[in-house]
Homo-oligomer: A and B are copies of this chain.
Amino acid sequence: MQTAPSTNLSDPEFVKGILAGDRAVLSKVITLAESTREDDLRRAEGLLKTLLPHTGKSVRIGITGVPGVGKSTFIEQFGGLLTKSGKRVAVLAIDPSSQKSKGSILGDKTRMEHLSRNPHVFIRPTPTGLALGGVSYHTRETILFCEAAGFDVILIETVGVGQSETIVRGMVDFFLLLLLAGAGDELQGMKKGIVEMADGIVINKADGENLKATNQARADALSALHLQAASSSGWIPRVLTMSAIENRGIEETWHMIEEFQRHTSSSGYFQHYRNEQKKKWLDESIDQKFRELLHAPALRKQKEKLMEEVMNDSMLPAEAANEFWKQLTIFLRGK
């Protein structure tokens, strides 16, 4: 049984709306790309292909940090700064509340009060009910749609649990880690692998009584960064400090990212990294198809039968796997 199509816009209306930077149309196309209906997905793909020549011109920034580090406030201030200098900003945000409540956009509206009312900002909460800390399989497509809609900076927020960071790192140009000027063991709370992925670290709440702790956090961060091999581009990750009260650090963060862009663009690494990410995207898409096949009812049934054979020792797993692939071939042929 087919449900009603998810939208009543025509393809030309979609393309026109997106290229005009219409946030409502942008929102609709992302919903289309996140649909569970096969025809919606095919349509979103077609639209994306049409829009492809208009993508790629933003700087894509991943922002991570443990809950409580001040990601929302940072994004609120950072986004505000960027729009003041004439930039349009898209925020692909993780709404922590929505992970439990199965998602209301209200969470982000409250979290980023000013940004959510800023006409130059597009905030999109990632779909809820997803694994991997809210990062969607479709986040890459969402980035491209936002770029086609003329957004200059794309901020992708993750919750700092580990797996989602690796995924986000694979789709952004610059990966920013927020730390708290608390105890020296802040770094240990953050998985070592995440620190190693950072192009820049910002130590938040570096003011007042925290100043001593800031120095410790800074030293820890620097030593963690020094332990890692320099990136192939030659970019050396920086550690900045930030204070919302003292109005310090936000502008410096943007300058750091601009410098990163200059540095990696002139050496060709900016594009090189993006190409590598594209290659990985294809690999992941091929894998994804495999996962989907494994969930096809006909094949699941076949697998259950083979599982029984394995359980009562009348088949070896390797044998059963061979047989399964034969069934899979027949299934694919029939499609």
Contacts and interface: CB of A to CB of B under 8 A. Distances in A.
Interface of A: 45, 48-49, 52-53, 140, 275, 278-279, 281-282, 284-286, 288-290, 294, 303, 306-307, 310-311, 313, 316-322, 324-325, 328-329, 332-333
A318 B45 contact: yes
Given A289-B322, A332-B332, A316 B52 contact: yes
**Dominant SS at the A interface?**
helix
B289 A290 contact: no
Given A282-B321, A286-B294, A288-B321, 19 more contacts: A45-B316, A45-B318, A48-B316, A49-B316, A52-B316, A53-B313, A140-B317, A278-B310, A279-B310, A281-B310, A282-B307, A282-B310, A282-B320, A284-B317, A285-B317, A286-B321, A289-B322, A289-B324, A329-B333
16 contacts: A48-B316, A49-B316, A52-B313, A53-B313, A140-B317, A275-B311, A278-B311, A278-B317, A279-B310, A282-B303, A282-B317, A282-B320, A284-B317, A285-B320, A286-B325, A289-B321
Given A285-B320, A316-B52, A307 B325 contact: no
Contacts of A53: 313
Nearest to A294: B286
Contacts of A140: 317
A285 B279 CA distance: 26
Given A279-B307, A311-B275, A329-B329, A285 B52 contact: no
Contacts of A289: 321-322, 324-325
Contacts of A49: 316, 319
A303 B287 CA distance: 13
A268 to B, nearest CB: 15
Closest 8 CB pairs of A and B: A285-B321, A329-B332, A281-B317, A285-B317, A282-B317, A286-B321, A52-B313, A285-B318
